[in-house]
Amino acid sequence: MRAKSSFRPGRLFIYAMLLVAAVFMLVPLVAMVFTSLKSMPEITGLAPYSGGTILSIPVDPSFDAWKSAWSSACIAVACDGLRPYFWNTIVLCVFSVTISVSIGAVNGYALTKWRFKGDSVIFALLLFGCFIPFQIVLIPIARLLGLMGLSGSMAGLIAVHVIYGISFTTLFFRNFYVTVPDELIKAARIDGAGFWSIFFRVLLPVSAPIAVVAVIWQFTSIWNDFLFGASFSGPNSRPLMVALNNLVNTSTGIKAYNIDMAAAVIAALPTMVVYVLAGKFFVRGLMAGAVKG
C-alpha cells in the first residue's frame, strides 16, 4: 500500500494566511524601529538620503534617538527622558497587580468553595464592575481620592487600578475554582483544615494557570493605561503612557520623529516581552477553567 500523502492544501492555505496576517501586523513595528534608528536628515529625505521611504533600511543606523528618549528628551518641564516614568510604571504594576490578583484569588475561592447567603449577589455586583466604563467614574474617584488625601499620589493611582482590577481577577479565579472538585475541600475540612489552610495548601498550588492569566491581563491593562494615569497622577507619579503622550505631542522645537518612535518602542517592549514569553501560558490558563470536570 502506498503511504498516505501528508500534503494538505487546506493547511497550506491556512499557514499562508497566517503568514500574511503576521507580516501585515508587523509592518508598523518595523517602521517604528527603522525610523528610530535613522537620523532626522535621513527621515526627511535630505541629501544624501533622498529617495528613502518609511520602510527603508537605515543607511547609518544609530541608537542616539533611543538614548535621548530614555534619558534626555524633554517632557513637560523636565528633560530627563522616559526613565523616571518607566520606573513609576514598574512600581505601579508590581503593587497593583500583586494586590488585585491576591484579592481576586481569595474572592474566587470564597465565592465557590465557601458558599454563604448573598454570595450570588456579591458576585453579580463584582461582575457588573467589569462593564462600567472608565469615563463615568472619573469625577467620583477624583472626589474620593481628594477626601482621602491620595490625590496625585502613587498610592492613589495604585488604589484605583486595584479596585478596577478586582472585578476581572475575581471572575478569572471564580471560573477556575468552579472546576476544582468539591471533594478536595471536604476532605481537607475533615482533616481539620480551615479557610486559609485550604486556600494556601489545596487551591493555591493548582492555581498557577489562572494566576498567569490574571497577572498578564492586569499587567498589560495597567502598563498601557492612559486615562487613569492622566486623570489621577501627579508630577512625581506620572506613568509611562502619559509621559509618552506628552513627549510625542510637544509643540516646542523641531519635531524629532526618530525620538518619538524610539520612545514608543521602549514603552511597548515590556508588554511585547511578556506576551512572547508567557503567551502560551495565557492560552493554557484560559482553557484550564473552560470545562468543569
* CA atoms of 218 and 153, how far apart (whole Å): 20
Residues 192 and 235 in one domain: yes
Note the pLDDT of residue 293.
45
Residues 38 and 96 in one domain: no
Backbone dihedral angles phi then psi of residue 218, each to the nearest 5 degrees: -65, -45
Note the pLDDT of residue 1.
47
* CA atoms of 193 and 186, how far apart (whole Å): 9
* CA atoms of 151 and 139, how far apart (whole Å): 12
Contact yes or no for 27/55 (Cβ under 8 A): yes
Question: Mean pLDDT in the chain?
Answer: 87
Burial 17-45 (b: 16+ CB within 10 A, else e): eeeeeeeeeeeeeeebbbbbbbbeebbee
Residues 151 and 206 in one domain: yes
Residues 50 and 159 in one domain: no
For 16-38, how does the pLDDT look when each residue is reduced to its tens digit (9 = 90+)?
Answer: 999 999 899 899 999 999 999 99
Task: Pull the grid cell for residue 84.
Answer: 523616571
Residues with Cβ within 8 Å of residue 119, at least 6 apart in sequence: 110, 111
What CATH code is carried by the domain that includes residue 179? 1.10.3720.10
- Helices within 129-239 (DSSP H only): 138-148, 154-177, 182-190, 195-198, 208-223, 227-232
The closest of 257, 229, 254, 256 to 241, measured between CA atoms, is: 229
In a domain, 2, yes or no: no
Residues 139 and 220 in one domain: yes
Task: Pull the grid cell for residue 215.
Answer: 497577572
Contact yes or no for 32/264 (Cβ under 8 A): yes
* CA atoms of 138 and 149, how far apart (whole Å): 16
Residues 279 and 181 in one domain: yes
Residues 52 and 129 in one domain: no
Cα distances from 284 to residues 13, 18, 155, 192, in angstroms, run 26, 21, 33, 33
**How many domains are there within the chain?**
2
In a domain, 3, yes or no: no
The SS3 assignment for 15 reads helix
Note the pLDDT of residue 286.
64
CB atoms within 10 A of CB 239: 29
In a domain, 67, yes or no: no
The whole model's pTM is what?
A: 0.86
Range of the domain at 149: 83-288
Note the pLDDT of residue 242.
94
Q: What angle do CA 149, 151, 155 make, to 5 degrees?
A: 85
Chain position carrying cell 534626555: 72
Residues 141 and 197 in one domain: yes
In a domain, 68, yes or no: no
Note the pLDDT of residue 65.
93
* CA atoms of 250 and 244, how far apart (whole Å): 10
In the chain, which stretches have pLDDT less than 50? Answer: 1, 293
Residues 261 and 190 in one domain: yes
Note the pLDDT of residue 3.
52
Note the pLDDT of residue 79.
79
